[in-house]
Every structure is written in C-alpha cells, then in structure tokens.
Amino acid sequence: MLKDREMEQRLRNEARTLLEQGKVDWFIGFEPGSLKFATTPLITKDKNDTERLVINSFIVNNLADFLTQIKGRVGIVAKGCDSRSIVSLIQDNKVAREDVVILGVPCTGLIDLSKVEKLTGKYRDELDDITREGNKVTIKVNGNKKDFPTTQLLFDHCLACELPTPKEYDVLLGEPSPPIANPVAQEKIEKLKQLAPEERWGVWEKELSRCIRCYACRNVCPACFCQRCFVEETEPQWVFPAPRWQDNLMFQIIRNIHVAGRCTDCGECERACPVNIPLRSLAREMYDIVGELFQFKAGMDKDAPPLLTHYEEEEAEGIFR
C-alpha cells in the first residue's frame, strides 16, 4: 500500500504541473467514489482537483474511453490495459499521440468487489477494510482479519493480463510489475469449448436472454467509438431494438466482430454488465482468434496498422476453398 501512496503523491504532483504549465487542457484520473472502496473517474480542468486523485486496487474503469469524447490535449492515468486501449486508438487515428500525456501506472491487478462479496458472503458496506500486500489480500470484517490469495479476488481479465505496466507512456509512476498470466482466467472459456456446438449456442441463448439492451457494454468500451452504432440504424434495420435473445445475441456477435483487433481484453464489458452476462468469454475468444490467425495483439505497437485495414498475401489458410 505504501507503494500506492508514493505513486499517488507523484501522480498528484505531475498532474498539477501539467495543468499549471498548460501542457494539457484536461486531466483524467480516478477519485474516491461515493460507494465504499469504489473509485470513480475524475475529469477536470482545475489544478486543485488533482489533490483528490487516487491509485489503489479499485481503479477499475478504462479511462481511454473518454479520450474520444474530449477535445484538446489530455493528461491521463493509464494502467497497462488502458495504455493498450490508448495505443489502439492512436493506431485507428482516433487520438493523436502528441495530444495525450500518459501517466503510466504499473498495475498488479484490480480487486473484483463482486468476487469479494461472493467469497465473504457480505455486502461491501459491511466490510471494514481490504488491504493488499504482494499475493495476499487481507479482508477485515467485524474486527476479524482473513487472508485470501489474489487469484481468488482479482478480476478474470487481470489474471490473464499480459501487459500490467504500460509500454507507451510519458511518465511511469512506479517500478514495472511482471505479467500475471494465470491460467485460472481462461477456465470459463475452456469449459465452454468442451461443450457440443448446440450446447454452446444454448448457453449463449440462456445468458443473452437476460440482456436488457442497456448498451452499457458498448458505452464503456474504448474500442466502440462509432458515431452511430449499427443497432441504432433503422434503414436497414440490422437488429431489432427490443431485448429478445436473438437480437441480443446478434448485437453481441456483431459488436465483438467490430472491435476485433481493437479489443485489448480489458474486461470492461463484463464489469459494466448489470445482469452479469459473461461478456469477457466472448471478447477474450475474439482476442485469441485474432492472435492465432493473424498474430495480432491490439494496442501493443502504435505504428502497426489496424487489423482489418491491413492484410498479408498469405494468411488464414483453409478458410477459403
């Protein structure tokens, strides 16, 4: 935690200097949220607001999403996954590199509060404290302390993380941390793959019949930056707007195809889903398909061309007869 405090202090100083010197018009970071433990994005022009900036194990949002919505030069706090999303936006010419000042945060994984609630059987308001040290998370409830390994409490996408420390940054706020890449993260997908095709389709039919089409997954996704989404098109109407499972599933399939090669497996879609549809199992599979077929990893190299605008003369053998 001490490391986080130091990083926090450095971040506040850097952010203040950036705004004071007019190097950026806006600063995007995290501040404490109104709910216990939670943080919320802080988007500000005011240098005094930078005192509220925090870095801890609950900075869940992918702030890259705001870059496409804000005009002017922006200073931004970026974990490994955020930095990949930013690079991906740079690759797509959505953001100019010189317009962003990236303050990189070496990340050691974020704690999933819903996993904490499941594990302890208590609501987050009833918990006194959650502290983290290395691979151990200590949860304090009613004065009793209990230790859990991080593999039980981190987000799935954090357990699968390939780039915890940003590769593209202007200032790195701490010491680089090693990738986690724990196979636990892939369990859900492996289990699905062992089912027969009809069963798999049945699983998605069941999951997506819960969908209320709030489009939270689309709105938090930094890769979903279309001015007008295909679901809102009426002529032709690709997808019926009522939340029926067929249309919900079609929406998710197309959304994942649209973000193929941009999706960095940041897990925001699954986190934002109010009805807990395992959307990461869709997104991650697309990420893996793209990696396997075209050796493409989104957001790793800002000079690489975007996936679907580029081609090699010989690739994806066996798809065309």
* Angle in degrees, CA 139, 119, 187, rounded to 5: 120
40 three-state secondary structure: strand
For the bound state, the minimum distance from the C-beta of residue 208 to other proteins, rounded and expressed in Å, comes to 10
Task: Give the DSSP per-residue string, 270-283.
Answer: HHH-TT---THHHH
Contacts with other proteins: how many residues (CB under 8 A)? 44
- Looking only at residues 291 through 310 of this chain, which bind other proteins when binding is defined by CB under 8 A? 293-294, 307-309
Min dist CB 319 to other proteins, Å, is: 5
Q: Which long-range contacts (CB under 8 A, 24 or more apart) does 13-19 make?
A: 14/75, 14/103, 14/171, 14/173, 15/47, 15/50, 15/53, 15/75, 15/103, 16/47, 16/50, 18/75, 18/101, 19/45, 19/46, 19/47, 19/50, 19/75
Subset of 228-257 contacting other proteins (CB under 8 A): 230, 238, 242, 244-246, 249-250, 253-254, 256-257
Cβ distance to other proteins smaller for residue 42 or 307: 307
Which residues fall within 8 angstroms of residue 281, CB to CB, at 6 or more apart?
188, 189, 192
Centre a 10 Å sphere on the Cβ of residue 303 and count the other Cβ atoms it contains. 7
Under the phi-then-psi rule, with left for phi > 0, alpha for psi from -120 to 50, and beta for the rest, what region is 104? beta
Is-contact 269 237, C-beta < 8 A? no
Would you count residue 215 as binding other proteins (CB under 8 A)?
no
290 is a site residue for other proteins (CB under 8 A):
yes
Rule CB under 8 A: say whether 191 interacts with other proteins: no
187 binds other proteins (CB under 8 A): no
Q: Which stretch binds other proteins (CB under 8 A): 153-161, 219-227, 263-271, 289-297?
A: 289-297
Cβ atoms of 11 and 55 within 8 Å: the answer is yes
**Binding marks (x or -) toward other proteins, 139..178, rule CB under 8 A?**
----------------------------------------
Q: Which is closer to other proteins, CB of 211 or CB of 282?
A: 282
Alpha-carbon gap, residue 318 to 50, rounded angstroms: 54
Q: Pick between residue 181 and residue 293 the one whose CB is nearest to other proteins.
A: 293
Of 60 and 279, the one with the shorter C-beta distance to other proteins is 279
Among 98, 147, 235, 313, binds other proteins (CB under 8 A): 313
Binder of other proteins out of 119, 120, 209, 300 (CB under 8 A): 209
Residue numbers at the binding site for other proteins (CB under 8 A): 192-193, 195, 197-205, 209, 230, 238, 242, 244-246, 249-250, 253-254, 256-257, 260, 282, 285-286, 289-290, 293-294, 307-309, 311, 313-316, 319-321
